[in-house]
Each structure stands twice: as C-alpha cells, then as structure tokens.
Chains A and B, each alone.
Chain A
Amino acid sequence: MAAVERLATGLLFATLVLIGGPACSSTPAPPAAPKLQPRETFDWTGEKISFSIPPAGWRREGETSGGIKGARFVKERSVGEAIGLGDYYVLADRNRSGPIRDILAKFDTFDDGFAWDRALRTAYAYTDTPFSSLESEIAERVNTEVGQASAAYRTHDRDGAKAHLEAALAEASRLHFSLDEVIGRVEFTLEGRQNPEWYHMLGRRETTIAGEPAVVVDYTVKVPERPQTYSAREAYFVHNSHLFICTFIGLKETLPVFDAVVASIEFPK
C-alpha cells in the first residue's frame, strides 16, 4: 500500500510540474505576431507600393487629406484606432514626367482644338515653394521648353513642338528628391499642432523601411473628450521621389499591428 501511495504522490508531483512549470516560468511567452491579411498593391499617385492588410475587423477607407492620397484602416468596435498609409501627392505632382510622357504618346492625335491646350497645361512644372534648388532649376527649364512647344504648335511646327516636349521630358526626368529634402514639410512636431499641450513627444529614430532610409516618430495624444491616452507613431520614407507616410493612432497594445504592416511594405518592380 505504501508503494502505491508513493507512486500516486510521484505522479501528482510530476503532473504539477508539467502543468505548473510553464505558468511559473519567469519569462512570459512573447505575444503572437498579428495575423495580417494578404498583401495588396496600391498605386495612389504613380508609384506602386505593396503591403499586407491589417487583420479582419479593420475597416478600410480612402484618405485624401493633408496632401496625402492613400488608404486608412479603422479598427471597428474600438476606441478610435486607425492605421494610415499614403503617398504625399504634393511632392509627387512636382515631377511632370508623367503628363509630358502622356502628351507625347498621344501627340499624333492632337489637332488644332482645345485638347492640345488642355493637355499642355498639365505639363508645366510648379514653381512655388520648391523642395530643393534642383527642383527650381529643373522647373524653370521644363517651363521654358513647354512654352516653346506651345509657340511652335501655334505656328503649325509640329516637329518643333514635339522636340521641345521631348527636351522638357528629359529635364523633368532629372528631378529627384531625398528624404532629407522633403521630410521637414510633413514630419510631426509639437509646434506644428494647433493644441501642442495635447501631445507628448516620445522619440524620433532613423531606420530603414523596404530598403529605404526612414524616420519614425513616436508620441502620445490626450484629447479632452476621450478618457484614454492614445499612442501614435508616424513613419516617413522616400522611394523614387515619392514620399510615403504611415501613421498610427490607437492603443499601445495595437502598435504591433502597425509595425507588422509597415514591415511588410515592398515596392513591386
């Protein structure tokens, strides 16, 4: 009988070790990685970007504010959490290569009607608030060539008009922007906010996203109408002279979803 009792005690001890061991361990298991949905490729302003979509339960919407064209994913049945990814079209529009290339592709279809004038208006480069001295220089040359193309077309010199447009395209194609040149226009700062007292800056770090140099800014937001203090993170990076902006606002525990989405970003060839 004593042997049976010893065996039962031993089994009980072994069971307790097996069940209780992991629970008493000093290092908790790492949280499971967010399960994202399959990646999709977006083309908001002429540069394709691909990333995995937030998990089920995040509603998607179009984003067109703040100079950004992109997508916003809003967590449903939550306290107001959102992830945004977008292309800063204010910068993308500075490069007129696309419109000029379109005009050249359709050059033979234009007659003396309004279509030519309407198309040519899209070829002129912006000259206000340039992002760099290179942009100013190129914009001036592009506009000179486009103006000469217009003048040549008015005198029925189609070959001359086409040659000037090709010269304008060559100039426009030289334009490029780096993150350092453009980030100042969009980066989060307390001074840039209407109510800076609602925000608390946590940090700024440089990193790499999809192989491109990037800047990540962390801060918190506490608005009077809401009981929670929200975590916020913004990431900025440039690819092919397109400035992409990723934003998160929500609960701290949801940040891994944002980080997983950002980590999945790729640029399709």
Chain B
Amino acid sequence: MNAGRARWVAFTTMVAIAAASACGRGAGTPAERRVAPSREFDFGAHRIQVTAPTNWETLDQGNQKRFRNGEFEIVLEALRPWTSLRPEPSTAPARDLDELFNRGLATLGHDDRREVKERRTVTIDGREAVDIETWSRLDHTNPQRILLVNADGDLLALHTVRMANEESLKAFDSIRHSLHFVSARR
C-alpha cells in the first residue's frame, strides 16, 4: 500500500467513525447539539449554570435545555416574557407570585386533570420562585415537579416531562439545586 492510499484509507475510516458516532447518538435536528453535563446556558438576557446529574445527557435546543435519561426527561426553558404582568418589579411580590404560578402552570399545559399537591415559595439563587408538585387528580399517581423562577421579569421553568419516577424526581432536585444565574444582560 503506498503512502497516498494509506492516507485515503485513514481519512475514510475517520469519516466513517465520526458518522457512526453521530448516528449512534441520535443527533436529531441540526439545532440540537450535545453538550457536557455541566455548563452555562443562555436564555435571552440570562446566562445560567446548570449541572446535570450523573448518567443524564444534556441537549441544548435553543429555548429549551433537555436533560435525558432513557425515557425520562427534565426540561429547563424560558417561558414567554411576563414583564407586562408586573409593572413595578420590586413591589407586591405576593400578587406577582400568584401570577407567576397561574401563568406558568397554564403555559406548561396544566389543566383540571392534574391537581397541585404542594406549592412552596422558595428562593433560587436570590430570585423568587415557586416549587410545585402536581399529581393526577383522580388517583394521585404520576407525580410531576415544576419550578417557576422569576428571573428579573422573565419566567424560567424547570419541569419534568410526561412521566417521572423516584430517580427522575431526585434528578430534578439535583438540577434545581445546581441552578446558578451567572449573569443577566439587561
């Protein structure tokens, strides 16, 4: 085998390995890109640092950051801005939190089939937030977690998707505790 042919074989082998690797990971749409378990994400004006739990892969899909482990999924996303709901950001926190709660749940598709099991007002990295647990209204199965954060007038949501189990609820808590607002570009 001459040197030119050897280089050609090496090149095609590398291309094949790269292609197989991309297919094997289910690369999905071009907008999706696989990222490291722990990193910073941009949400418009906000940059947020998140650490994914062990064995959870992370996908950056623009407005939505997905954490996946098998069929279980947790999403961190920016809901539509809600600045118009609070003319004075520093006043009337109780009323604002109620609005945050109602608008956030409605945007995430919460309806009468599910019931709020528990709702707690918390602080996430210095920002007011509502930590919510919901379950099926009929039989109290299928628990889901939702965290709504008032990020200087923007509404950020961290929530479980479709189904959750003990492990994914632990992963939710892990991600929730890791949330850190690195900067806000306003």
Chains A and B come from one and the same complex: yes
Residues of A within 8 A of B (CB): 40, 42-44, 60-64, 69-72
7 smallest beta-carbon distances between A and B, as pairs = A62-B138, A71-B139, A60-B139, A62-B139, A71-B138, A61-B139, A40-B140
A40 to B118, CA, bound (A): 13
- B137, CB-defined interface residue at 8 Å: yes
Query: A219 CA to B159 CA in the complex, in Å?
Result: 47
Contact between A60 and B141, CB atoms less than 8 A apart: yes
Q: In the assembled complex, how far is the CB of residue B85 from the closest CB belonging to chain A, in whole angstroms?
A: 12
Tell me the minimal C-beta distance from A168 to chain B in angstroms: 22
A sample of 16 inter-chain contacts (CB < 8 A) reads A42-B137, A43-B115, A43-B137, A44-B137, A44-B138, A60-B139, A61-B139, A61-B141, A62-B136, A62-B138, A62-B141, A63-B138, A70-B138, A71-B138, A71-B139, A71-B140
Told that A62-B138, A62-B139 touch, could you supply 5 new A-B pairs with CB distance under 8 A? A43-B115, A60-B139, A61-B141, A64-B138, A72-B139
B5 to chain A, nearest CB (A): 65
CA distance A110 to B139 in the complex (A): 34
User: Which residues of chain B come closer than 8 Å to A69, judged between CB atoms?
Assistant: 137-138
Residues of A within 8 A of B138 (CB): 42, 44, 62-64, 69-71
Task: List B contacts of A44 (CB < 8 A).
Answer: 137-138
The secondary-structure label for the interface of chain A is strand
* List of A residues within 8 angstroms of B137 by Cβ: 42-44, 69
Cβ of A43: which chain B residues have Cβ within 8 Å of it?
115, 137
Closest residue of chain B to A68, judged by CB?
A: B138
- For A61, the chain B residues whose CB sits under 8 A away are 139, 141
A60 and B140 alpha carbons, distance in the complex (Å): 8
How far apart sit A43 and B135, CA to CA, in the bound complex (Å)?
12
Q: How far is the CB of A244 from chain B (nearest CB, A)?
A: 14
Task: Type the 1/0 row for B116-152, where 1 means its CB is closer than 8 Å to any CB of A.
Answer: 0000000000000000000011111100000000000
Complex formed: what's the CA distance from A61 to B140 in Å? 9
Closest A residue to B112 by CB, please name it. A45
When C-beta atoms are compared, the residue in chain B nearest to A61 turns out to be B139
Of all chain A residues, the one with the shortest Cβ separation from B136 is A62
Query: B139: which A residues are within 8 A, CB to CB?
Result: 60-63, 71-72
Q: Which of B115, B139, B141 has the most chain A CB atoms closer than 10 A to its own CB?
A: B139
What B residues does A42 contact at CB under 8 A? 137-138, 140
Q: Chain B contacts of A40 at CB under 8 A? A: 140
Q: Which residues of A contact B140 (CB under 8 A)?
A: 40, 42, 60, 71
Please name all residues of chain B whose beta carbon is closer than 8 Å to the beta carbon of A71 when the two chains form the complex. Answer: 138-140
How far, in Å, is B82 (CB) from chain A's closest CB? 15
Residue with the greatest number of chain A CB neighbours at <10 A, chosen from B115, B138, B141: B138
Nearest CB of chain B from residue A71's CB, rounded to whole Å: 4
Residue of B nearest to A53 (CB): B140
